[in-house]
Amino acid sequence: MNILVCDDEKEIVEAIEIYLKHEGYEVFKASNGLEALSIIENTEIHLIIMDIMMPKMDGIRTTMKIRDKKNIPVIMLSAKSEDTDKILGLNIGADDYVTKPFNALELMARVKSQLRRYTMLGSMEVKSDMWRSGGLVVDDIRKEVTVDGEAVKLTPVEYKILKLLCENAGRVYSMDQIYEQVWNEPSFNPENTVAVHIRRIREKIELNPKEPKYLKVVWGIGYKIEKYQ
């Protein structure tokens, strides 16, 4: 298994590397997000340990870039004073976090746990054809959406947006990300376009669109489909 450790503090990287190699993992190292993205582009990486505060590109922006294309597990490292960034990291796609200073044995346990989940669930490319969040169901084979068993009629664009959010339930997408993935073109001031479609989707799937159960806004960041069993 190949693990990428990304942190601008050389001593921390070297300490983590010692423990990872002791467990038999191959270790790749980066000191900022740009270096990490370059390694991921050219190497098969199975897990990333990512610091939040780094020069050139921080861990938050790097994780968002990674999540655009890959579903590699990301464990974020954060100082105790960075609780807000830690929560943001989890919202935009990080799988776990460890607070500095950390216990190396705890970090190794979290690494093994995330790798087990990744191996069992498979990579991002292997996808189901049906997504469920509580009473909301998206059936991509039939291109049907139901809420509590009742059919919901969506336009093709509305369906694409809902499908994108449902197949990545719990992950927050910015308006730019939604626009680029649904319209397949670069976004230029997409706020009005995306917001109108989001409002229409809410009107169709929510019992009370003003207090949505499924399609939630994360203020200042974007939108997500809430995870329900």
Q: What are residue 22's phi and psi, to 5 degrees?
A: -60, -30
**Does 136 share its domain with 157?**
yes
Q: Which of 113, 104, 43 is nearest to 73 (CA)?
A: 113
Task: Give Cα 131 distance to the centre of its chain.
Answer: 16
**Does 8 share its domain with 96?**
yes
The CA–CA distances, whole Å, from 163 to 23, 49, 140, 171, 193 equal 39, 29, 8, 13, 17
Report the distance separating Cα 185 and Cα 173, nearest Å.
Answer: 16
Strands 74-79 and 96-100: parallel
**Does 143 share its domain with 202?**
yes
Q: How many folded domains does the chain comprise?
A: 2
Tokens standing for residue 163: 């499908």
**Does 113 share its domain with 17?**
yes
**Does 59 share its domain with 139?**
no
Residue 92: CB partners within 8 Å, gap ≥ 6? 60, 63, 64, 67, 171, 172, 221
Compare 194 and 123 and report the one with higher pLDDT: 194
Give me the residue label for tokens 């705890």.
106
**Does 110 share its domain with 48?**
yes
The DSSP output letter for 46 is S
Last residue of a domain, one of 121, 144, 167: 121
The CA–CA distances, whole Å, from 35 to 38, 45, 59, 67, 86 equal 5, 13, 12, 16, 21
| pLDDT at 118 > cutoff 80 | no
Q: Which CATH number does the domain housing residue 180 bear?
A: 1.10.10.10
- Which of 54-63, 82-91, 117-126 is least confident? 117-126
| pLDDT at 187 > cutoff 70 | no
Cβ(227)–Cβ(133) under 8 Å? Answer: yes
Burial class (CB in 10 A: 0-12, 13-18, 19+), 162: buried
Angle, nearest 10°, between helix axes 156-166 and 191-205?
80
Verdict on whether the full-model pTM lies above 0.85: no
Task: Return the pLDDT at 193.
Answer: 85
Compare 91 and 155 and report the one with higher pLDDT: 155
**Does 137 share its domain with 116?**
no
**Does 68 share its domain with 117?**
yes
Q: Which CATH number does the domain housing residue 31 bear?
A: 3.40.50.2300
- Note down the domain range covering 80: 2-121
**Does 152 share its domain with 205?**
yes
Compare 189 and 105 and report the one with higher pLDDT: 105
**Does 37 share its domain with 107?**
yes
- Which of 16-25, 80-89, 185-194 is least confident? 80-89
Compare 170 and 192 and report the one with higher pLDDT: 170
Report the distance separating Cα 195 and Cα 193, nearest Å.
Answer: 6
